[in-house]
Structure 1
Amino acid sequence: MKLRVISSLVIFLGSYLPLAAILVLQDISKASWDLPACPISIDALSRCQLPKLNNPTITLTFLGVTLLAFIFFIATINSIRGGQAAVINDVKQIPGDIINYVFPYVVSFMGVDISDKGKLSGFILFLAWLFLITHKSGQIFLNPLLILFDWKYYEITYSIGDHKRTEYALSQTPLRIGGSVRVKKVQDINIMNPKD
């Protein structure tokens, strides 16, 4: 099953929810950081004020889009069921390739000035290139945030009938040698679920 570009883009954006939160924090005005902490009391809400953002439209839009995309991504991957029955012959858990995921975070800490249109445009172009590379390589589902939902990345050898294959897979349940699973390929990643 191949994903359409729009679906891939939504899944890609969902993986950058933490980056959006970092950019919101970096956009808080200096005056807001200098305010005293809100007291812990019953009427604290009436005496506290939300921090002021320098570029609220851009940062809150990015945060909202990535949050919705992340929810869509989790709903999508959890809805993938069925597929061919297979038996696992060999399994090795591997860390996901997070180097592509880490680059934008490094850039954010180098100081993306959202109010500077040139720097913002360069950052958007950088994410666009990352998206194209990730989409074309078939690795769109390799999202390190999946770890929070117990998804693991494996290199597996499995058999479907008399045919043996060695490929990469994602599974929310631990995979074991001799285990029976259902395999559904999305892009170039196998989504594994326990056999019914």
Structure 2
Amino acid sequence: MKLRILSSIIIFLGSYLPLAAILVLQDISKESWEKPICDITKLTFENCQLPTLNNPEIALAFLGITAFSFVFFILTINSIKSGEVAIIEEAKQIPGDIINYVFPYVVSFMGVDISDKGKLSGFVLFLAWLFLITHKSGQIFLNPLLILSNWKYYEVTYSIGNHKRTEYALSKNTLIPNSKVRTKKVQDINIMSQKD
């Protein structure tokens, strides 16, 4: 099953929710960092104020888009239940690959100034290239935020009928030898769930 380009873009953007949160924090004005959010000497919230952003439209739009995309992604992957029945022969969890996918990109953009149009354009172009590479390689589902939703990445050997295969899979359940699962291939990744 191949994803449509719009679905792929939404899923891809969902993996950059932490980066969007970092950009919002970096966009908080210097004056806001110097003032407390609330006056803790008073027991009311009347004296509380949210920090001000230098570029609220851009920062909050990116945060909103990535938050929506992440929720869409989680709902999409959790809705994949059907598929062929497979018998697991061998399964090896690969936890590092999901973390390694996004970590360098988050670190790379710790200093992005979204008020600078040149840096913002470069950032958008970089994300577009990452998307194209990720989409073409079929790795769009390798979202490091899946760890927060208890999904795991495996190298798995399984059989369907008399056909034995060794491929990569995502599963919320622990994959153990001789267990039966349902598997559906989406963008070159098997989504495996417990057999009903």
Matches within 5 A, 1:29-40: 29-40=29-40
Count of residues in correspondence between the two structures: 194
- Report the aligned-residue RMSD: 1.1
Per-residue deviation, residues 86-142 of structure 1 (Å, max 9, x unmatched): 100111001224434123212222x11111100100000001000000000000000
Give 2:5's aligned amino acid. Answer: V
Of stretches 87-96 and 169-178 in structure 1, the one that deviates more from structure 2 is: 87-96
**How do 1:1-196 and structure 2 match up within 5 A?**
1-40=1-40, 42-44=43-45, 46-95=46-95, 96-109=97-110, 111-196=111-196
Q: State the alpha-carbon separation in 2 of the partners of residues 182 and 56 from structure 1.
A: 45
Conserved 8 A contact 2:87-2:158: yes
* CA deviation profile, 1:59-111 (whole Å, cap 9, x unmatched): 000000000000000000000011000100111001224434123212222x1
Task: Give 1:37 deviation, angstroms.
Answer: 4.5
Equivalent-residue separation in structure 2 for 1:5 and 1:77 (angstroms):
16
- Partner of 1:47, secondary structure, is coil
**Superimposed CA distance per residue, residues 39-61 of structure 1 (whole angstroms, 9 cap, x where no aligned partner):** 345412x1011101000000000
Q: TM-score under structure 2 normalisation? A: 0.96
Matching residue's letter, 2:144: P
Q: Distance in 1 between matches of 2:48 and 2:91?
A: 53
Q: Does the 8 Å CA contact 1:100/1:130 hold for their aligned counterparts?
A: no
Q: 3-state SS of the aligned residue for 1:183?
A: strand
Paired letter, 2:52: K
Q: TM-score, normalised by structure 1?
A: 0.96
Q: Determine the C-alpha separation between the residues in 2 that align with 1:23 and 1:144.
A: 18
Structure 1 residue 17, shift from structure 2 partner: 0.5
Cα distance in 1, alignment partners of residues 184 and 123 from structure 2: 35
Q: Residues 104 and 127 of structure 1 are in contact (CA less than 8 Å); yes or no, is this contact kept in structure 2?
A: no
Question: Runs of at least 4 residues of structure 1 off by over 4 A?
Answer: none
Question: What are the ranges of 5 or more consecutive residues in structure 2 without an aligned counterpart?
Answer: none
Distance in 2 (CA, whole Å) between partners of 1:58 and 1:17 is 14
* 2: CA distance, partners of 1:48 / 1:108: 31
Report sequence identity in percent. Answer: 69
Cα distance in 1 for partners of 2:101, 2:93 equals 19
Whether the aligned pair in 1 keeps the contact of 2:90 and 2:156 (CA below 8 Å) is yes
